[in-house]
Amino acid sequence: MNFWSFITQNRYEVASLTLEHLWIVGISTVLAVVVGIPLGVLITRKRSLHKPVIAIANIIQTIPSLALFGFLLPAPWIGERAERLAILALTLYALLPLIRNTYVGITSVDRAIVDAARGMGLTDWQLLYKVELPLAASVILAGIRVALVISIGLATIAAAIGAGGLGELIFRGLAMVNNSVILAGAIPAAVMALLADSLLGWLEKRFTPQRAA
Amino acid sequence: MTDATPVVEFSDVSYVLPDGRKILQDLSFEARRGEILILLGRSGSGKTTALKLINRLLELSSGELRVDGRSSKDWNVIELRRHIGYAIQEVGLFPHYTVARNIALVPSIQNWPKDKIDARVQELLRLVGLNSDISSRYPHQLSGGQRQRVGVARALAADPPILLMDEPFGALDPLTRADLQREFLSLQQQLGKTVLFVTHDLHEALRLGTRIALLEEGRLVSLTSANEFLTSSEPLVKKYVEAFGTTERQPEKP
């Protein structure tokens, strides 16, 4: 049985696993954005928190994904369902690029612009949402892009703990020593990563601030 | 138009960095209503720091600074800054805002009604000699001179009685700079703002200044009218004047 006939015969299963995959990746990326961007902003305001926050996010990044799934297993509520566990783990992995890019994006806004804004009486909030976030948007989007592409790949491993997604086909194919089944999981995941990458790349370009020639 | 009412007063103001370096030491002077007070000095003399103490972008270490008779510490910092226009070198225009939105920044955060803001933007564009068709452009689409004009218009937007200007014309070619200086002077005669103007350019200081305060290593060396500055016997002032060569107000030596 070759790859194409497997896909066509199992199109409903492939489609539903793809949706499951998208769901896990989507939710975890949204959570990482909701947590990571405020944390990134926070460490631009409290510079003393910068090092510890980045260090923790860095350490999380170095934990092998299978081990992280294992560590989280005893957690209450989270550990009850594999899907929750996968979402939490992917969120944790996605934090570093988000925190770091938010921090870098905001701190690299031209000092003259920030001084002018503060000098004219913008409050800290106004400075943030009128000046810093819009000017950092392209760098933050680059962080989301990295996080998203990494998550799509990592999410395949979540199938090892029964969280579903395209990884299920990969693990099944491995067990059956059947390349077509492996590819039926791997290729949609790769296509998903490429699509996400070009979509975010396009957004990033749109949000790049215009500079003097 | 100038009267003796002090609008910005420095009394023994010092500014010390956390590492102990003294940037300003016991600075005392005042800017009077309606005058252009030049803060002149070489780079590192502390003139920009002095300016930033006024709108509290930096907080002074000791002494007292009064704005309109009230200690700057007693002002709500946001209110204080909106009371003072601020224009800086390289302008600090927001690159993601059009010219109109840049100029409208302070009125819009003060929630002026939209039609009043639009009218004010048009008025300011005329005032600084810009054509109203540039209002929908972005800063990177403007020439250096146009950007500086927008910067001045933005600083004037909410009609603040005090203007702080930190080398606003520094990055321009000499001809454009002369144009802007001339226009600024006539603008100032119409508006009668109290202006504190930082520059290292003696010609600019002489052309614009009502009075000139010379700073050196964080201290006030002299404070004189522009005319007195050229004839001052203060050695550092003399050095400064010599370094800039002869000026039109100084007779040629045979």
Reported ipTM: the value is 0.85
Q: Is B117 on the interface with A (CB under 8 A)?
A: no
Is A119 in contact with B79 (Cβ distance < 8 A)? no
Q: Which strand (E) or helix (H) includes residue A81?
A: none
Q: Does B21 touch chain A (CB under 8 A)?
A: no
Task: Tell me if B78 and A123 make a contact (CB, 8 A cut-off).
Answer: yes
- Would you call B10 helix, strand, or coil by DSSP? strand
Q: Tens-digit pLDDT profile for chain B (254 aa)?
A: 567 789 999 999 999 999 989 999 999 999 999 999 999 998 889 999 999 999 999 999 999 999 999 999 999 999 999 999 999 876 689 999 999 999 999 999 989 999 999 999 999 999 888 998 999 999 999 998 899 899 999 999 989 999 999 998 887 888 888 988 998 999 898 889 999 999 999 999 999 999 999 999 999 999 999 889 988 888 888 888 888 765 555 444 44
B96 to A121: CB separation less than 8 angstroms, yes or no: no
pLDDT at A94 over 80: yes
Cβ-based neighbours of B52, under 8 Å, separated by 6 or more: A115, A119, B58
SS3 B64: strand
- First-residue to last-residue Cα distance in chain A: 58
**Does residue A213 surpass a pLDDT of 50?**
no
DSSP string, B91-154: TT--TTS-HHHHHTHHHHHTT--HHHHHHHHHHHHHHTT--GGGTTS-GGGS-HHHHHHHHHHH
Using a CB–CB cutoff of 8 Å, tell me whether B155 touches chain A.
yes
| Best residue in A113, A114, A120, A133 for a mutation probing chain B (most B CBs within 10 Å) | A120
Whether A134 and B155 lie within 8 Å, measured CB to CB: no
* Residue B132 structure tokens: 């109203």
Q: How far is CA B176 from CA A205, B149, B201, in A?
A: 35, 11, 15
- Find the range with the poorest average confidence among A84-93, A95-104, B242-251: B242-251
* pTM: predicted TM-score of the whole model, two decimal places: 0.86
Contact between B57 and A134 using a beta-carbon 8 Å cutoff: no
User: Helix, strand or coil for residue B40?
Assistant: strand
